[in-house]
Amino acid sequence: MQQLQPLSTGQQEFSVIRTQGMTYVNKTAFILRILQTMQSFFFLSRARRLGKSLFINTLKELFLGKKELFEGLYIYDKIQWETYPVLHFDFNNIDFKNKGLGQAIYDRLTAIAASYGIELQEKTIGSMFAELMATLHEKTGKQVVILIDEYDKPTTDVLEVGNNAKAHEHRNILRSFYGVVKGSSAHIRLFFMTGISRFSKLSLLSDLNNLTDLTYFSDFHNICGYTQEELETNFTPHLQHVADYQGVSLEELLQQVKRWYNGYSWNGKARVYNPYSVLRFLDAKEFRNYWFDSGTPKFLIEILKSRMVYDISETQVTMAEADNFDIDNLSPETLLFQTGYLTVKEIDEFRIYTLAYPNLEVEESMTQYIPAAYAGNNKTSLAYEIVIVAEKNDIEELIQTINTPFAAIPYQLLDQHRERYFHAIIFLAFKLCGFYIQSEISMAAGCIDAVMHYENRIYVFEFKLNDSAENALQQIRQKGCYNAYRNEGKEIYLLGIGFDGQTKWNK
């Protein structure tokens, strides 16, 4: 058997990847493109685990003059190699939760200064940062390179529904830190910052308005993530090994990998794979939800619950809405898009963005996670019971099966959200089964609560809280909305469901 090249699973250190002969998808052409522009200040927004940290680390090694690490890569013989002082701030590894943000930044500034033999005289983090840049420029004769990874993490990590005091505190600290950069531009060769949220909307960088935002630049769309070509060029031996292990052809495996892990887009056209999930899959040789399981923010689920958002795919927003990261008025769409749970499916002629799940990994995970969070438990066996009953087309048994998730739901939640809560749980239960279900469909005759398509059947739902199923059914008949489906040649079933808010059982 052919010896496979070691995978760089979870490794963000460029030097380790190169010296240990691990797989490296060559992104250095993007670095050359950056160096050939007339700009020096850049920003890039991407979801977590799409390759931002590795790109920042690659920049660090290049500006430290580590030419030997780049042998055989695109940029190797295309630049004049020089060594610059590098200031690298990785907010994934700055211990702001235990030390406090101000102290953590202070310690990092002090450590960088000490590594260059400098003892800082200033005492505040902003003035220390400015002093460090100026002193290094004077001492080395070279402008400094500033690399900031996950700049917004201290703010986004402490967001809570109804309590943003800590987020505001961290925002003010970061503003004083980042605020000295523009005034120190004479000392800066390159400033490159990454994060999840768009900087212009987080109000951290009001004084740093000279950043070139690469987030939507077509020339930099593939700066993070793997293209189809990169996947097949770099990983075909690994893919063939997995295909042999699973007993399928390479072509069949590629289709499955694409369905599970491809799909991230910022222009609705070009799409990339999630590197973290691809590497974990090639290592484990099993399709699983690797990216989702690596960390889903509690705040995201809480805001979805608090605003009763459950049908999150195929959402239409403007660019302004997708980027509107206001910590006091966060929209679910902004959070879902910027954190990677939704991506750009298409952009229409009016610049309206349709956001959708990027791939099966994210859709399957969210469809399991949200109903469990709503119901206050982690049980997903209900989905399989619904599948069995739906296949039998036993309406009475289907209704009884639907009753199951409501027994464990706290009454306070039901009382707070009333009918919409029942609607959400049923929608998510069917979605979890893999059924094609739509919610709150507007038609000329009125709005249908939900419509589910299954094989040659169409189910039309109407929900009523503290009212009878017969009244719900009568409302469907009066509206006549189901007539819109008659020309599809399928059996149509009308389901009126009444819920009792006290007993939590339908009637």
Q: Where are the extended beta strands (E) located within 235-320?
A: 315-318
pLDDT of residue 202: 47
Per the listing, tokens 């740093």 go with 208
Separation between Cα atoms, residue 487 and residue 492, nearest integer Å: 11
pLDDT of residue 507: 42
Separation between Cα atoms, residue 13 and residue 356, nearest integer Å: 32
DSSP string, 102-154: HHHHHHHHHHHHHHTT------SHHHHHHHHHHHHHHHHSS-EEEEEESTTHH
**Amino acid present at 175:** R
Class of domain 379-499: alpha beta
**Amino acid present at 292:** F
pLDDT of residue 201: 44
Per-10-residue mean pLDDT of the chain, 507 residues long, equals 86 96 97 93 93 97 98 97 98 92 97 97 97 98 97 87 85 92 95 82 62 91 97 97 97 98 95 97 95 72 72 82 77 86 92 93 82 57 63 71 58 53 69 72 70 86 82 86 84 82 50
Q: How far is CA 197 from CA 44, 139, 249, 354, 468, in A?
A: 9, 35, 40, 19, 46
Pairing mode, strands 144-149 and 188-195: parallel
Q: Where are the extended beta strands (E) located within 351-490?
A: 352-356, 436-443, 446-454, 457-465
pLDDT of residue 498: 78
Collapsed DSSP state (helix, strand, coil) of residue 416: helix
Domain boundaries, the chain: 14-220, 226-375, 379-499
- Structure tokens given for 96: 């702001």
8 A C-beta contact, residue 205 and residue 199: yes
pLDDT of residue 436: 74
**Amino acid present at 289:** N
Q: Which CATH number fits domain 14-220: 2.60.120, 3.30.110, 3.40.50, 3.40.1000?
A: 3.40.50
How do residues 296-349 score in pLDDT, each as one tens digit? Answer: 666 777 777 777 676 777 888 888 888 777 777 778 888 889 889 999 999 998
pLDDT of residue 232: 98
